[in-house]
Structure 1
Amino acid sequence: MSKLFLLLIFVTVTGYGQQDSLSAKRFRLTPLPVIYYSPETRLGFGALLAANFETVKIPDSITRSSYAQTYFLYTINKQYDWGTLVRLYTPGNKYIVQGKFNYTFFPEYYYGIATEEPESGKDTIQYNRVGVDLRFYRQWKKHFFAGIATRYNKITNVEAGQGHFIEDKPTGYNDYWVLGFAPAFTIETRDNYVYPRKGFYLEALYYIHPSWSGKSYSFRSFKLDIRQYYPLKLISSIDAVAFQLLANLNTGNVPFKDMADIGGSYTMRGYYTGFYRYKNLYAFQAEYRTMIWWRLGLAVWAGAALTPEKWYTLSDHSVKPNAGIGLRIMMNRKDRLNVRVDQGFGKKDQRGFYLDIAEAY
């Protein structure tokens, strides 16, 4: 959604009930009604519900707080988007369970595959999507975890005009589904999941997507996510600088919606998702976050992405830069949970306006 007008009315509810003060400390619920408008969807409305909670009866300094979020959006164009995610830490952080589910029907622009001139291939497409991403980790040293991941992505009812999408016939253009599995490894020393101020995070996964029966495709994906956080006290007591390096490297017959694309609310904010779409992507982002008054905060960031034909040929294409500024509204002071409103900018006059909850990384 390139332009978004929002009405936010939020109430923070703490605890399971008035009579259980211990439970009240363990469970913190934040509902968020949303009304919005964008050129692609026209008028839409929905709701978002976020929960921070503890998996131990008595909160300690070892077990990290868990987080869950779900939302539903619907528009007068009869479009819809339902998603949910959870990151669960068991007592002592012995296990980490992370899951995402998403079901959508939203028309979008198609800009071609591996092109430096996306506007020349612009087209409109629509489809239904079901996405599932599950990761299971077991601790084997204090901050080190190993496990397994699986992901499922199904694209159906693909429709397009008589433009570039039909001419290009990208892999998966007439519907497809993939099911992949990956060994997974992570390092986790962050002090907070939704607003980290210090610590380090690394996640590495190597997905193997076999060619199953029907409209599925065989390809492999290596995904690397490295983040580092440094606390500061320049303006407020919770200032922080955050860095992120992302790699999404693919080989084989990669369907168009599983390629490494740029844009959206998390990676390279400022670009329409899929404006640039390649097999391989390296992205670097740096962000400064601060609180400026009461519950209002500010964030500024800059980044750049490389899109090589092969993982080691970094200079194949031009550098894709981005930068932006964002407003933060802190809904939950205990967990530092923010509503995030960002305006990002990229090359070729790309820009994007985003609403989300919790930080981008």
Structure 2
Amino acid sequence: MEIRLRIIALLLVFGLAVSPVWAQGQVVRFVKKILNDTSSAATSKLIVFPTLGFAPETSLEVGIRTFSLFYVKGDTVVNRLSEINLNTFVTLKGQFGALLENAVYTDQNTYFFLGKARYQQFPLLYYGIGPATSKSNPVLVNSVYFQIRQRILRKIRNNWYTGAEADFQSIQRVSFESEETSNFELPVGGRGSKTTGLGLALVYDDRKNVLNVRKGQFLETGILWYQPGFGSDFKYQSVVLDGRLYRPLGRPNRVLAMQLAGTFITGDVPFNNLGLIGGESLMRGYYLGRYRDKNVLATQAEIRWLPFGFSKRWGGSLFAGLGTVAPSVASVQLNHVRWAAGGGVRFLFFQKKDVFLRADLGVTREGTGFYISLGEAF
């Protein structure tokens, strides 16, 4: 079981029965104010709350998560909902991590800025490369890792966007726990690397609310070239495909969401830049990086009740997915396709902006994973 449980301390509604003593405190009054927020959709929202977490490779985590949700110029008719999300944490082992994600639209949705920046100094589990790696005795990888990936896209016609994207990754001070105690063979980039990729992206996006899509489509095709001339230690090429479809099922509160994703890499690529399966978005239930290789193919579908018909704020979901990795597309084998399934609960966090808090439990043949986050997985 992947024991990475993040508890949003601000939202005591997920299991804390408020006693009369708590009800008199400043914290609970603040919680009630947030949970009963009825400000208009046009109002920009900035919320900061603490998080707690635990993982075997990091022990106890304490962090701060900050969300900013807004419509440019307060225009909820034409402009789309923009999101900036910052999550930072430290652990009892002195480790640190920070992730900044953005999906920001300008006025009239003319420009779309989509990207992330990540810094982390904590160990990760490395199971090896390929579709048939063993789940037992993973190697613990210690490193200092930094990434910034950004797409700057301009609308060219209707809902079509195109533009440039860049990706910089650096992994330094790398050590594999079993390196000195066995015949462990270091993967490519096992002693550290820096890679810089520049490329182009083509996106179709008619989603109104990227955190909770009730109807719409999203399609992204991107290609990146990593070259020594750009400052990269390795030379390779990466192509990413991501297609998503959202449709109501009979009622506005019931949504079918589907996704097809692929990563295709050719060349000499370091292990930390390979395509991954797992995590809180794709193939929930698997540890992020449980399977990695040059090529990733995955698909998932989810039915969402947002909210249930008998409730104004509580909802739920059921999801399932299939995915695999391979060194080449031609070498994909059906017996290496993995499955993941599960379900979760939803709570309408921002009532006017139609944004839910989700708690998902993903089940795989190797165990389970539990995730709490704001907004849907895809």
1:270 lines up with 2:285 in the alignment: yes
The letter of the residue matching 2:9 is L
**1:183-194 counterparts in 2 under 5 A?**
183-194=200-211
1:168 alignment partner, SS class: coil
What is the TM-score with the length of structure 2 in the denominator?
0.86
Q: Is the 8 A contact 1:109 1:123 kept in 2?
A: yes
Deviation per CA, 1:19-71, whole angstroms, max 9, x where unpaired?
xx99x834122322212223222222111111111212x51422112111111
Correspondence for 1:301: 319
Match of 2:241 in 1: 224
Query: 1:38 maps to which residue?
Result: 55
- When structure 1 is superposed on structure 2, of 335-344 and 187-196 the one drifting more is 335-344
1:130 aligns with 2:131: no
The structure 2 residue matched to 1:197, chosen from 214, 221, 246, is: 214
Alpha-carbon separation, structure 1, partners of 2:182 and 2:368? 23
Partner of 2:187: 170
Given that residues 68 and 84 in structure 2 are in contact (C-alpha distance below 8 angstroms), is that contact kept between their aligned partners in structure 1? yes
User: Equivalent residue for 1:152?
Assistant: 168
User: What SS is found at the alignment partner of 1:304?
Assistant: strand
C-alpha contact (below 8 Å) 1:112/1:165 kept by paired residues: no
Q: Encode CA deviations 1:230-272: one digit per residue, 9 max, x unaligned.
A: 11355xx422110000000100011111111111111111111
Find out whether 1:258 has 2:273 as its counterpart: yes
Aligned 8 A contact 1:110 1:121 in 2 = no
Conserved 8 A contact 1:184-1:204: yes
Equivalent in the alignment of 1:69: 85
Q: Is the 8 A contact 1:190 1:199 kept in 2?
A: yes
The question of whether the paired residues in 1 share the 8 Å contact of 2:130 and 2:326 is answered with no
Dislocated runs of 4+, deviation >3 Å: 10-14, 163-166, 212-215
Distance 2:159 2:70 in 1: 21
Deviations 1:274-310 (A, max 9, x none): 1111110110000111123342221110010132332
Counterpart for residue 327 of structure 1: 345
Q: More relative contact order in 1 or in 2 (CA 8 Å, sep 6+)?
A: 2
Cα separation, partners in 2 of 1:165 and 1:345, compared to 1, 3 Å:
farther
Write the deviation string for residues 181-215 of structure 1: whole angstroms up to 9, x where unpaired.
11100001113110001011001100101135987
Q: Does the C-alpha gap of structure 1 residues 214 and 95 become closer, same or farther in structure 2, counting only changes over 3 Å?
A: closer
CA distance in 1, matches of 2:97, 2:84: 17
8 Å Cα contact 1:105-1:127 kept in structure 2: yes
**Normalising by structure 1, what TM-score?**
0.90
2:17 counterpart residue number: none
Q: How does 1:103-122 map to 2 (within 5 A)?
A: 103-119=119-135, 122=138
Q: CA deviation at 1:95?
A: 0.9
Distance in 1 between residues matched to 2:142 and 2:314, nearest whole Å: 37
Does the Cα contact within 8 Å between 1:88 and 1:96 map onto a contact in 2?
A: yes
Q: SS state of the match for residue 92, structure 1?
A: helix
Query: Which has the larger displacement, 266-275 or 334-343?
Result: 334-343
Give the distance between the partners of 1:165 and 1:317, measured in 2 at CA: 30
Per mean C-alpha deviation after superposition, the further-off stretch among 202-211 and 1-10 is 1-10
What secondary structure sits across from 2:326 in the alignment? coil
Does residue 2 (structure 1) correspond to residue 3 (structure 2)? The answer is yes
> Equivalent residue of 1:116, what SS?
coil
- Provide the rounded CA distance (Å) in 2 between the counterparts of 1:201 and 1:82: 27
Unaligned runs of 5+ in 2: 12-30
Q: Percent identity?
A: 28
TM-fit CA distance, 1:6: 2.1
Alpha-carbon separation, structure 1, partners of 2:249 and 2:182: 48
Distance 2:277 2:212 in 1: 23
Q: Which amino acid aligns with 2:240?
A: K
- Paired position in structure 1 for 2:260: 245
Alignment CA distance shift 1:195-1:87 (3 Å): same
Confirm or deny: 8 A CA contact 2:322 2:339 kept in the other structure: yes
The count of corresponding residues between Structure 1 and Structure 2 is 350
Show the counterpart of 1:17: none
Deviation at 1:162, TM superposition (A): 2.8
